[in-house]
Structure 1
Amino acid sequence: MLTILGVIMFLRFGFVVGNAGVWATLLIVLASKTITTLTTLSLSAIATNTRVEGGGAYFLISRSLGPEFGGAIGLVFFVAQALSVAMYVIGFTEALMAYLPADSSPILVASLTNLVVCVCVWIGAGWTLKVQFLILAAVFVSLLSFYTGAIEHFSTATFAANWNPQFEGNQSFWTVFALFFPAVTGIMAGANMSGDLQDPARSIPRGTLAAIAVTCFVYASQAVLLGGAANHRQLVENNLIIADVASLAALISLGVFAATLSSALGSMMGAPRILQSLARDRVFLRLVPFGASSGRGEPRRAILATALIAQAGIVAADLNTIAPLITMAFLLTYGLLNLATFYESITKNPSYRPQFRYCNWMTSLAGAIGCGIVMLLIDWRWAVVASGLVGALHYYLSRANLDADWGDLNSGLLFERTRRNLLKLEDSLYHPKNWRPFVLAFSGSGFSRPHLVVFGSWLTRETGVLSLGQVIPGGLDNQSERLANQEAILHSMIQERGLDAFPAVVVASDYVAGVHALVQCQGLGRLRPNVVLMGCPLSAERMVIFGKLLRDLEGLDRSVVVLRQVDDAGNEQTAPEGTIDVWWRGRANGELMVLLAHLMLSHPTWRGRQLRLLRVVQKESGIDEVKSHLERLLKGARITGKTKVVVSSNAVDAIQSTSRNAAFVFLGLTTPDEGEEEQFLERLEQLVGDLPRVALVHSAGEMTLES
């Protein structure tokens, strides 16, 4: 309350009433108090939902929106609080200059006052808070003097003359609003001292809301009484009009001294604790030294930094210049605090259980929108600059990869958004136009088949989903620990290689059962694997098992890609030289082959390469018709590529000779009948021959090229 009833009330409120008039001043007070009340509701909700430590608004925002937003707004809020010390000290100096010799230096007086405030806080917060009770008594007495004098001087004619706005010079409603708003920003004074409170969850809501209610009455009644006790010219030109109206001017001077010193002390106590909390979280490594405590836990290094910033503000600016800058910083802080509470509410996180029941997503959203609108209306240029500064700090901290050891709502927000989208996807009708590759790649134990991982990444990096499957043979009774370890290893390898992939590990009695389990159970709802990527077996014995697996996957309506690669050429950063050849034998598998080749070419590694759509014909008379057909296919599919028709009576030889220098070759795959696995392997070996990298594709027919 003492921070709210500060320098603006005693030295600038008359200027506000003189320019805005009584009714517009009441509107300014009401709008300001509405914003701070909504923010306090959000503040109370978060404060009663978590164990509040030191750092006030920074602590609350960082624990909700994460260290990036918390660090960005924490640094801006700290500087604003430090400049608030300068604002209050300048206000104290303006009042004191009336009692000092005319040749006294205002900057020297303000600097000495700043030093005194710093020393008081340096001694300790406990001692400073006790001093605040004496200051509160002085402010109460000065207000009593004002009320008695204003009632005596009150004139209905003067009140009527001051009822409407009379803006002078470049003043407007919003410039006057910007000047007044810092007067109500003391709502964070208690929260900034959160680390020193015995029960922050109880004290912050009760104390802050009570302070808002009392000070709202004080400002509203002052606006009415000033409007009837002094004319327009006196209100605009006399910074100490309250003293002239009061029954005893000396008591007003006492109140000015008390209120400005109290506000300066409050800001000098709060700002260092924000900086200390910021430093202890190691958000900005250069600020880490300010996390130290001395004496009885006092952040004395941070106190010194605050005093130096305040001194810079004293030397560089005056009261009218500093106030709007502080307004922007406080509005940004309040807006983000409201936004944090809004997100906490809509994500429906089970851990969000505030004891304060008078806040919901509507009040929080209204507070955030109100702060944003007021910032733009006050001065859209400064609003953009302030928002840009916070955005730049957030970007810097995002690139710094902060390792915060606390949870925030980002994961909760992503979960809720994902949950809603999955439910919408489940209710929507499937259309081939929306087909995307969800590839389940069996990469082997410990990435023993890296070529499958790389190929899967090429197919899904831009548009799809990649899961890396692994089957652990055995029973759960003796493999559960290994399951957890393999999941952790797979997740670690995915992170180390910078892959956009998910681990998928299952324990099963044998490999085939494990593949069945992963194919059927991996995913959620409609978001499930539609392409199974496997390596090619090279022995007849293994082909028997593999053939049955292919038939099972066909029965499960899953597309299958079998990758046969005899070298290790190609990784996520480099691709082998040459074209991507797709050998067309019809739509059954051809459509999926062309699309997968196109997806590979959309990957950054493959950009600039060329797709070739090829077909073998036995007679030259069919060249023109087939070539025209292939070109219509690519044109209808809106895919860029070249077509080529090869005349040969031996398709295998044609494929071998035409694609020997290709980077990748796509061929169709037919599922072998039971008992014909050995012959199937022979045909496969003959077809692939010496080609180094071949993808054999069997399509389940879920997509069409023209969609």
Structure 2
Amino acid sequence: GISILCFFLGNPLTETPRDMEYITRTVANPDPFFYVFAICFPAFTGMTAGVGLSGDLKRPKKSIPLGTLSATLCGMVIYLLLAFKLGYCAEPDALAGDQLIMSRISVWGPIIPIGLACATFSSAVGSIMVAPRTLQAIGSDELLSPGVNRWLSAGRGASSEPFNASVVACLIALVFVAAGDVNSVAEIISMFFMLTYGSICLISFLEHFAADPSYRPTFNSRWYISLLGALACFWLMFKMNGLYAFFSLVIMVGIYLLISFTNPEKAGMAAIFQGVIFQLSRKLQIFLQNAQHGPGELNWRPSVVCISENTFKRTSAMEILRWMSHHYGFGTYIHFHRGYLSKATKAEADALMERLIRLARAGHSRVFVDTMVSPSETSAISQVIQLPGVSGHENNGLLLEFSKVHPEDLDTVVSNAPLIVANQLDLYVLGSSERKFGYHREIHIWITRQDEENANLMILLGYILLGDPEWSHGMVKIFATYPESRLGEEESRLRKQIRAGRLPISQHNIRMIAQTEQTDIRDLVNHHSQDADLVILGFRYELLKHVGKELFLGFDEVGDILFVRASGQKMLATEKEMGELTQTLGEEELGRALDEGKPT
């Protein structure tokens, strides 16, 4: 303080009158601002010394915020006044060429080196007190391996002075001192200070955003101040030295990963990010709900719920739901646990939930999984129908499954179909076989004259399933059966609709089959699709009411088969797109293009 006072009482080195232009004067070929800033920045860092000595403070909750803010404001004022005083009292060349020019300006020159020595010694003592205590605290919190923790946390004397940690801190300091280049050392030190401040600000912002009730700081700040501080710190790091900044971040991430590996139970950052994701998901779901004015037929995407009691016996339902939700859609898988809700059944459901999560994780599934305790399939399905979509998008389909070898579960499908249809959901019924979708090469879609309302949904499903990596080498084949008198008309319409919808289905993979009154669709499917990896076939609810579960039986020659009943017509292309395609090609050219597989 005395040296600063003596400096401010000093006189300019020249008698030349000074004007305000001295503020903007500079030397020839000056160093970049951020290079100088990186060298000077360690001088500003003493303002947070109290944080490292919080254990020695009487009232740290009050002293740390007050001391930090006071030191910051006082330091800013003093450094600004020093800059103005130096600029007023000496020429830029003199300031750049004389490192002890403050002694020449001061009323008593020797006080400046003495003050600098005291400040340097004080800073060194502060660092040598804070760093070992920080290392000792890391060991006490058992953040590293057990042996390192015991050695670092060991103390001497009644106050447990961190002797071992001091040895480590001194060795690190000696390594940097031995580097010799003071400017480079200052840059490196600035990086880690900036990284510390930026990380603190970032964690503060994330805690604000996560809105964790357990985060109750005694000194409240604003989220935007924390965000601005974090962005400013990381921006300054890369402006000062991009290479040093990159390696500093790598070291920080490496230390964090090491701590996470040695202490998997300490999930501090994981808990913060979980809170952030929770809040972000909540806000997005509310936004989607407010923006949803009704299902768009053209912009339809599957949001399917599957409920099954046989999760751990047959995985086909979860597989096809995973493919549906990999890229284009959303999937929710509910494991049905039969019984009345009680403490015992709740514990059983929790154990099943852990198995379900492991199963989903093993398959890299993007499906949301859960369990449901209910006394019957009907009550469980009625609850599932009312579930809100986890994505913010309303559920629009329900998937049930049965084994083709033991089709007893079809009774559940038939008895609950009226409930599903009444709630205007698309109904999917998967018949699982021992082939388990074969080689994921061919999807056969069957369109008949009795279920044309299901055609677009089945074609869209085929396209969506091909979006999963397991079907990356797969293809869709379409088989359409109509009376011979309508074959040409329906073929032209189907091909035109697929082309207008820009679906990646080859024109050569569309096959029209003449159907007579004696033709049984089962015979056609068993004959043409016996090597298909998945068959998709539509059905009408009216026919299901009439014939019951027999509707799903008799397809013994094929593997897995997905029966589809659409709640409403889905659009592959708008009427405008269909009209533009017709106008562009012309009717005759369109016919030739369709025959030749000519792309549009």
- Is TM-score (shorter-chain normalized) higher than 0.5? yes
- Which residue identity does 1:454 align to in structure 2? E
Alignment of structure 1 residues 23-34 onto 2, 5 Å = none
**What is the match of residue 217 of structure 2?**
354
2:511 corresponds, among 636, 640, 644, to 644
Report the 3-state secondary structure (helix = DSSP H, G, I; strand = E; otherwise coil) of the residue aligned with 1:691.
Answer: coil
Structure 1 stretch displaced more, 181-190 or 588-597: 181-190
Contact 1:659 1:665 in 2 (8 A): yes
Please say if 1:255 is aligned against 2:115: yes
**What is the match of residue 375 of structure 2?**
509
Report the 3-state secondary structure (helix = DSSP H, G, I; strand = E; otherwise coil) of the residue aligned with 2:466.
Answer: helix
Alignment of structure 1 residues 592-671 onto 2, 5 Å = 592-619=457-484, 623-641=487-505, 642-649=509-516, 650=519, 651-671=521-541
Contact 1:562 1:697 in 2 (8 A): yes
Residues 1:369 and 1:483: Cα distance change in structure 2 (over 3 Å):
closer
- Which residue identity does 2:393 align to in structure 1? L
**What is the match of residue 186 of structure 1?**
46
Residues 1:330 and 1:353: Cα distance change in structure 2 (over 3 Å):
same
Contact 2:153 2:162 in 1 (8 A): yes
Residues 1:251 and 1:350: Cα distance change in structure 2 (over 3 Å):
same
Contact 1:491 1:502 in 2 (8 A): no
Contact 1:591 1:704 in 2 (8 A): yes
Give per-residue Cα distances to partners, 1:9-64, cap 9 Å, x unaligned. xxxxxxxxxxxxxxxxxxxxxxxxxxxxxxxxxxxxxxxxxxxxxxxxxxxxxxxx
**What is the match of residue 127 of structure 1?**
none
Residues 1:567 and 1:291: Cα distance change in structure 2 (over 3 Å):
farther
CA distance in 1, matches of 2:125, 2:211: 39
Query: Percent identity among equivalent residues?
Result: 25
Contact 1:443 1:449 in 2 (8 A): no
- Which residue identity does 2:436 align to in structure 1? A
CA distance in 2, matches of 1:384, 1:630: 59
Please say if 1:293 is aligned against 2:154: yes
**What is the match of residue 577 of structure 2?**
none
Structure 1 residue ranges without an equivalent (≥5): 1-139
Contact 2:442 2:474 in 1 (8 A): yes
**Once the 2 structures are TM-superposed, how far is the Cα of residue 166 of structure 1 from its aligned partner?**
1.7
Give per-residue Cα distances to partners, 1:446-474, cap 9 Å, x unaligned. 52221211121122122333222123333
Give per-residue Cα distances to partners, 1:541-577, cap 9 Å, x unaligned. 764543120111011111111111220535xxxx525
Point out which structure has higher relative CO (alpha carbons under 8 A, 6+ apart): 1
CA distance in 1, matches of 2:173, 2:378: 71
Alignment of structure 1 residues 289-438 onto 2, 5 Å = 291-295=152-156, 296-357=159-220, 359-375=221-237, 378-379=239-240, 382-383=241-242, 386-387=245-246, 389-390=248-249, 394=253, 403=264, 404-406=266-268, 408-428=271-291, 429-430=293-294, 431-438=296-303
Please say if 1:521 is aligned against 2:391: no
Report the 3-state secondary structure (helix = DSSP H, G, I; strand = E; otherwise coil) of the residue aligned with 1:157.
Answer: coil
CA distance in 1, matches of 2:274, 2:568: 36
**What is the match of residue 328 of structure 2?**
463
Report the 3-state secondary structure (helix = DSSP H, G, I; strand = E; otherwise coil) of the residue aligned with 2:571.
Answer: coil
Contact 1:616 1:654 in 2 (8 A): no
**Once the 2 structures are TM-superposed, how far is the Cα of residue 613 of structure 1 from its aligned partner?**
1.1
CA distance in 2, matches of 1:282, 1:469: 40
CA distance in 2, matches of 1:463, 1:300: 59
2:319 corresponds, among 437, 454, 462, to 454
- Which residue identity does 2:495 align to in structure 1? E
- Which residue identity does 1:684 align to in structure 2? F
**What is the match of residue 430 of structure 2?**
563
Alignment of structure 1 residues 542-557 onto 2, 5 Å = 543-557=410-424
Residues 1:559 and 1:335: Cα distance change in structure 2 (over 3 Å):
same
Q: Could you say what the CA RMSD is over the residues aligned between the two structures, in angstroms?
A: 3.4
CA distance in 1, matches of 2:447, 2:466: 18
Give per-residue Cα distances to partners, 1:634-662, cap 9 Å, x unaligned. 21222212211234542322211110111
TM-score, normalising length from structure 1? 0.70
**What is the match of residue 95 of structure 2?**
235
**What is the match of residue 558 of structure 2?**
691
Structure 1 stretch displaced more, 420-429 or 667-676: 667-676
Alignment of structure 1 residues 86-125 onto 2, 5 Å = none
TM-score, normalising length from structure 2? 0.82
Residues 1:352 and 1:259: Cα distance change in structure 2 (over 3 Å):
same
Contact 2:330 2:391 in 1 (8 A): no
**Once the 2 structures are TM-superposed, how far is the Cα of residue 230 of structure 1 from its aligned partner?**
4.1
Contact 1:468 1:502 in 2 (8 A): yes
Structure 2 residue ranges without an equivalent (≥5): 575-600
Contact 1:426 1:525 in 2 (8 A): no
Q: How many positions carry a matched residue from both structures?
A: 555
Structure 1 stretch displaced more, 667-676 or 582-591: 667-676
Residues 1:480 and 1:324: Cα distance change in structure 2 (over 3 Å):
closer
CA distance in 1, matches of 2:477, 2:143: 52
- Which residue identity does 2:224 align to in structure 1? M
Contact 1:548 1:674 in 2 (8 A): no
Residues 1:668 and 1:398: Cα distance change in structure 2 (over 3 Å):
farther
- Which residue identity does 1:370 align to in structure 2? A
**What is the match of residue 81 of structure 1?**
none
Contact 2:102 2:112 in 1 (8 A): yes
CA distance in 2, matches of 1:172, 1:673: 81
**Once the 2 structures are TM-superposed, how far is the Cα of residue 674 of structure 1 from its aligned partner?**
8.3
**Once the 2 structures are TM-superposed, how far is the Cα of residue 579 of structure 1 from its aligned partner?**
1.1
CA distance in 1, matches of 2:160, 2:362: 41
Structure 1 stretch displaced more, 452-461 or 220-229: 220-229
Residues 1:392 and 1:186: Cα distance change in structure 2 (over 3 Å):
closer
CA distance in 1, matches of 2:213, 2:14: 56
1:576 corresponds, among 424, 430, 439, to 439
Contact 1:279 1:287 in 2 (8 A): no
Contact 2:420 2:427 in 1 (8 A): yes
CA distance in 1, matches of 2:198, 2:155: 34
**What is the match of residue 56 of structure 1?**
none
CA distance in 1, matches of 2:137, 2:299: 48
Structure 1 stretch displaced more, 470-479 or 310-319: 470-479
**Normalized per residue, which structure has more helix?**
1
Report the 3-state secondary structure (helix = DSSP H, G, I; strand = E; otherwise coil) of the residue aligned with 1:356.
Answer: coil
Report the 3-state secondary structure (helix = DSSP H, G, I; strand = E; otherwise coil) of the residue aligned with 1:536.
Answer: strand
**What is the match of residue 473 of structure 1?**
338
Contact 1:440 1:469 in 2 (8 A): yes
CA distance in 2, matches of 1:260, 1:644: 87
CA distance in 2, matches of 1:375, 1:198: 35
Contact 1:156 1:228 in 2 (8 A): no
CA distance in 2, matches of 1:388, 1:704: 53
